[in-house]
Amino acid sequence: MSMTRRGFFATVGAGSALGIGGALPALAQQENTGELPRPGKGPIVIGSRNAMAAAARAVEGMRKGEDPLDAVIRGINIVEDDPEDDSVGLGGLPNEEGEVELDSSVMDGRAHKAGAVAGLRRVRNPSSVAALVMRRTDHVLIVGEGALRFARAHGFKEENLLTEKARQVWLEWKEQHSDHDDWLPPEGTEKKKEFGWKTRIDGSDFTYGTIHVSALTPGGDLVGCTSTSGLSFKIPGRIGDSPIIGAGLFVDNQVGAAGSTGRGEANLQNCSSFLVVELMRQGRTPEEACFEALRRIAARTEPRLRNPAGEPGYQLKLYALRRDGLVGGAAMRPADAEMVVHDGNEAKTLRMKTLYGG
């Protein structure tokens, strides 16, 4: 059974949330078959809220016959190249020493192969390097200096990824985040506020911003990519979930694809993307699978990461695309709880349901 395009819009386009409960009941009953019916439609592309341009580029590429993973990566390259996105590629916020370190993974459901780089410096497109790890090595993950040397070998340009804007944000953090060091803000500038656990100068949480995109081809194949500069002001060498297959990205051509943005540590401890795909295999809708993963993560969250109400105080968003074209997502908290869905004709930004309010 497959949804018509009209059915797709009725599912994800209605209302302010991804209200997909009840969609495709016949599929939902097909538990533990291990394989869902082929969709016979697409391309369908989903992604994080910063993936609008990437999704459009991915669909355009696939429509022109481009390899679907290349189409997704070229879409993600747009955001990696954008100095205004402070969470990905060029212009990403740096580690605590002011150095930008990038993580990315790709996964191709057709061959069930993956590639990733982590802690990559001075190369703005880690997703493209990750694809080469998958296609041109016998490895899955290359990190740090080895990743840079590998990128160099493939002719990637090296550059300073710290934009002037990101440098100023980092320097302000350096000067403002503690009273117990020797960094002082400019003369006449007061300490702006108390810096609680991972609070940025602008009052928002530290950024874990990231881009995730998954795509379904008309033939029923799935690919995905996640790319990030990771946690802002991290300890040098800190690696998040994005380059870890099963955490920040997982694709199973027989079932679906899943990816994540938000607090990578929570994801790493729970293998969330793998879990979401496995839950879809067992018959959960994409949205139900994302919620179940979030519930487990929330239940296991340590006390220091909980707010006064006892809820996880961090944001974590999960995105899922089932092999039959059904899409869904869920977020831990309401802040920026949006995702992009492109049905092959147009892209929309959709509000995600959240596990906690407020």
Q: Which of 264, 286, 325, 329 is in the footprint of ligand GLY by CB under 6 A?
A: 264
Compute the least distance from the CB of residue 230 to ligand GLY, in Å.
4
Half-sphere exposure for 177 (CA within 13 Å, toward CB): 18
Closer CB to ligand GLY, 124 or 263, in the complex: 263
Tokens 């293998």 sit on residue: 271
Q: What are the φ/ψ torsions at residue 165 (nearest 5 degrees)?
A: -65, -45
Cα distance between residue 209 and residue 86, in whole Å: 8
Q: Contact between 119 and ligand GLY (CB under 6 A)?
A: no
Question: Using N-to-C axis directions, what is the helix angle for 144-153 and 126-136, rounded to 10°?
Answer: 80
Contact yes or no for 211/262 (Cβ under 8 A): no
Closer CB to ligand GLY, 3 or 114, in the complex: 114
Compute the least distance from the CB of residue 204 to ligand GLY, in Å.
15
Q: Contact between 11 and ligand GLY (CB under 6 A)?
A: no
Q: Contact between 259 and ligand GLY (CB under 6 A)?
A: no
CA distances to 19, 89, 158, 179 from 161, rounded to whole Å, are: 39, 7, 9, 29
- Looking at the chain, the number of H-run helices and the number of E-run strands are 10, 12
Of 214, 196, 223, 210, the closest CA to residue 110 belongs to: 223
Closer CB to ligand GLY, 148 or 249, in the complex: 249
Closer CB to ligand GLY, 61 or 248, in the complex: 248
- DSSP string for 200-228: -TTSSBPP--EEEEEEE-TTS-EEEEEEE
Q: Which stretch binds ligand GLY (CB under 6 A): 5-13, 65-73, 166-174, 262-270?
A: 262-270
Cα 260 versus chain centre, distance: 4
Compute the least distance from the CB of residue 278 to ligand GLY, in Å.
20
Q: Contact between 319 and ligand GLY (CB under 6 A)?
A: no
Q: Which stretch binds ligand GLY (CB under 6 A): 59-67, 190-198, 237-245, 332-340?
A: 237-245
Q: Is 280 helix (H, G, I), strand (E, B) or coil?
A: helix
Cα 174 versus chain centre, distance: 27
Q: Catalytic residues, which ones?
A: 210
Q: Contact between 95 and ligand GLY (CB under 6 A)?
A: no
Q: Which stretch binds ligand GLY (CB under 6 A): 91-99, 190-198, 228-236, 306-314?
A: 228-236
Q: Contact between 231 and ligand GLY (CB under 6 A)?
A: yes
- The CA-based angle 106-214-81, given to 5 degrees, is 65
Q: Which stretch binds ligand GLY (CB under 6 A): 30-38, 46-54, 146-154, 236-244?
A: 236-244
- Count interface residues toward ligand GLY (CB under 6 A): 12
Q: Which of 105, 128, 228, 315 is in the footprint of ligand GLY by CB under 6 A?
A: 228
Closer CB to ligand GLY, 263 or 323, in the complex: 263
Q: Contact between 240 and ligand GLY (CB under 6 A)?
A: yes
Tokens of 36: 């869902």
Contact yes or no for 104/226 (Cβ under 8 A): yes
Compute the least distance from the CB of residue 347 to ligand GLY, in Å.
22
Q: Contact between 261 and ligand GLY (CB under 6 A)?
A: yes
Q: Contact between 241 and ligand GLY (CB under 6 A)?
A: yes
What residues make contact with ligand GLY under the rule CB under 6 A? Answer: 208, 210, 228, 230-231, 240-242, 261-264
